[in-house]
Structure 1
Amino acid sequence: MPGVDFFNDLSTPMQALLATIFTWSLTALGASAVLFTRSVSNRLLNIAQGLAAGVMLAASFWSLLAPAIGLLLGAAFVGLLDKLLPHLHPGFSHGEAEGPPARWSQGALLLAAMTLHNFPEGMAVGVSFGAAGAGAGGATLGGALALALGIGLQNIPEGLAVALPLRAAGLSRRRAFMFGQASALVEPVGGWLGAAFVGTSLPLMPYALSFAAGAMIFVVIEELIPEAQRGGNADIATQATLLGFVAMMILDVALG
C-alpha cells in the first residue's frame, strides 16, 4: 500500500513525530467536545480515566518493560518534575495546586499538569519507534504503532478533562478548546527526541525503554488512578482499568 510504504521509508524520528502528532490530534478531538457541551458526567470521566490507566499500564509492560530492565529512573524523572513545576490536576476542583507556590491561572496550572502527563507519553512512543527502527530488544514497528494508537485513544478523554473544567469556570468555548488541545502539543516533541536519542545510542536502548515505562507508570499511579477513583464510581473505574489493560495487550500482540 502506498501509504504504508511511505511511512516505512521515513526515518525513525519522523515516524515517531508523525505518530505523536496523531496522539496530539486525538487530544484535540477530545477537547473539541467543549465546543458543543459544558459538562459531562463524572461517571463517564471516571470510566475514561480508568481505561486510560489500564492502557498505559499495559503499554508500559508490553511495549517498553518486557524487552528492558529497570524503571526507577523514569519514575524519578517525572517525580522530580512533579515537585518542581506548579500544576493543578484535572478533577481537583478546589484549587489544590501541587508543586512550588506560583501565581498562575487555573488554565496555566492545568496546562502544566497535562504537560507533565503527556511528555512521557510522547517520549515512550518515540523510544518505541527508535527501538523498532534499530531492531533492538525484539521491538517491532507494529508494537510501536500499537503504543501510539493506544495512547492516542486515551488522549481523547484527557483533552476533554482539561477543556470542560475551563469552560465551566467561565472561559469561552474557543479558549477552553485551545487549552485542551495544547496540553498534548508536547507529545510530538517528546516523540522526536525519544526516537532520535535511541537511534544514536543503541547500548542505552534497554535503559531508554525502561525509563519511558517508569515515567508512564508514575503518571498512572500519581494521577490517573486517583482521579478515576474520586468521582464515586470506584468499581466501574477499576473495571475500566482492567478492560483498558486487556485491550492494549491484545492490540500490542495483534500488531506486534
Structure 2
Amino acid sequence: MIESIEVWAYEQGPVKSALVATIFTWLMTAMGASIVFFFKTIRRSVFDTMLGFTGGVMIAASFWSLLTPALEYAKEIHPGLHWAPVAGGFLLGGLFIFLLDRLLPHLHINFSKSESEGIPTNWHKSTLLLLAITLHNIPEGLAIGMLFGTAALNLDQATLTAAIALTIGIGIQNLPEGMAVAMPLRRNGASRTKSFMFGQLSAMVEPIAGVVGALAVVYMKNILPYALAFSAGAMIYVVVEEVIPETQRDKYTDLAVLGFMLGFTIMMILDVGIG
C-alpha cells in the first residue's frame, strides 16, 4: 500500500503530491467535525484526551519528521556549523506563530470569550474558535509540503515514505481537531450543519500552506534546513502555547497526558517504523 502511494507521489511531483496529501488531512478534519451529526455533546474527559493526543503527534512530528532531517542536511551545506541554520529556523518558526497569535483575533477551545487573544474584536465566539484551530493547521500544512518538496530533491535525509508517514500522522490528529471546533459550537446551540461547516473550515488553510511549503523547498534548495526547522518551531509553539494549556483547565489532566503520550508514540512509530 505504502509502496503504491510512493510510486504515485513520485509520478505526480512534489507540489501536486503535497496538495493531495493536505486535502487528505483536510478531509480527516471534516470527518472529525461530522460527529456533530450524531452527538450534541462529548465528555470533557474524552475531549481533553483527544487534545493531548494532538499535542503528542505534533511534538513527535517536529522532532523525527522535521528537525532530524534538517540537522542531517545542514551537515552537508554547513559542515561544522550545522546547528546554526536549524536553530535559527526553529526560533523563526516560533516567532512567526507568536506574531500571528498577537495579531489574529482567536479564542482557545476551553476558554471563555473574555479570554480571547489577538487584536480586540467583536467577532462571534464561533469565528474566534475557528481562527484558533486555523493557527494550528498552518504549520502542519507547511510541514507536509516541505517534506514532499525535500523528498523530490532525492536527499538521503528525507523520503516520500517519510512524507507519507507525516501525512498519516497529521491526518489522524486532525480528527480530534475537527471535533474540537464543531462540538463546542453544537453544544452552544449552533445547528449541526453550521457546526460541521465551521469544524472543517479550520483545515482549509492546510492545502494552501502545503503547496507553499513544497514550492519554497523545491525552488530554494539552500533554505531547506531553515524551512524544516521553521515548521518544527511553529508546531512546538502551537503545542506549548495553545494545545497543552487547553487540556489543563479541568480535572482530566492525567488523561490528557496519557493521550499526549499515545499520540507521541503513534507518530514515532509511523516515522521511524514506516518513514
State the TM-score bracket (shorter-chain normalisation).
over 0.9
Aligned residues: 256
In the superposition, relative to structure 1, how do residues 42 and 2 fare at CA in structure 2: closer, same or farther (>3 Å)? closer
Q: Residue 60 of structure 1 aligns with which residue?
A: 62
Instruction: Give runs of aligned pairs for residues 149-168 of structure 1, distance below 5 A.
Output: 149-168=168-187
> 1:170: Cα distance to partner?
1.6
> 1:152: Cα distance to partner?
0.7
Q: Residue 134 of structure 2 aligns with which residue?
A: 115
Q: Residue 209 of structure 1 aligns with which residue?
A: 228
Answer yes or no: is the 8 Å Cα contact 1:27–1:181 preserved in 2: yes
Answer yes or no: is the 8 Å Cα contact 1:132–1:140 preserved in 2: yes
Answer yes or no: is the 8 Å Cα contact 1:137–1:206 preserved in 2: no
In the superposition, relative to structure 1, how do residues 7 and 67 fare at CA in structure 2: closer, same or farther (>3 Å)? closer
The answer to whether structure 1 residue 90 and structure 2 residue 90 are counterparts is no
The answer to whether structure 1 residue 200 and structure 2 residue 226 are counterparts is no
- In structure 2, give the amino acid aligned to 1:51: F
Q: Deviations over 1:13-72 (max 9, x none)?
A: 111111100111010000000111110001101111111111110000000001222210
- In structure 2, give the amino acid aligned to 1:25: L
In the superposition, relative to structure 1, how do residues 55 and 2 fare at CA in structure 2: closer, same or farther (>3 Å)? closer
- In structure 2, give the amino acid aligned to 1:31: A
In the superposition, relative to structure 1, how do residues 4 and 126 fare at CA in structure 2: closer, same or farther (>3 Å)? closer
Q: More displaced, 211-220 or 105-114? A: 105-114
- Tell me, which stretches of 5 or more residues in structure 1 are unaligned? none
The structure 1 residue matched to 2:46, chosen from 44, 47, 55, is 44
- TM-score of the superposition, structure 1-length normalised? 0.96
Answer yes or no: is the 8 Å Cα contact 2:24–2:171 preserved in 1: yes
Q: Deviations over 1:81-115 (max 9, x none)?
A: 00000001112145421111011111111111111
Answer yes or no: is the 8 Å Cα contact 1:23–1:155 preserved in 2: yes
Q: More displaced, 69-78 or 225-234? A: 225-234
> 1:4: Cα distance to partner?
5.0
Q: Residue 100 of structure 1 aligns with which residue?
A: 119
The answer to whether structure 1 residue 233 and structure 2 residue 252 are counterparts is yes
Q: Residue 80 of structure 1 aligns with which residue?
A: 99
SS in 2 for 1:61: helix
SS in 2 for 1:240: helix
Q: More displaced, 128-137 or 139-148? A: 128-137
Q: Distance between the aligned counterparts of 2:123 and 2:64, measured in 1?
A: 38
Q: Residue 79 of structure 2 aligns with which residue?
A: none
- Tell me, which stretches of 5 or more residues in structure 2 are unaligned? 71-85
SS in 2 for 1:98: coil
Q: More displaced, 88-97 or 173-182? A: 88-97
Q: Distance between the aligned counterparts of 1:97 and 1:249, measured in 2?
A: 33
> 1:7: Cα distance to partner?
2.8
Instruction: Give runs of aligned pairs for residues 18-33 of structure 1, distance below 5 A.
Output: 18-33=20-35
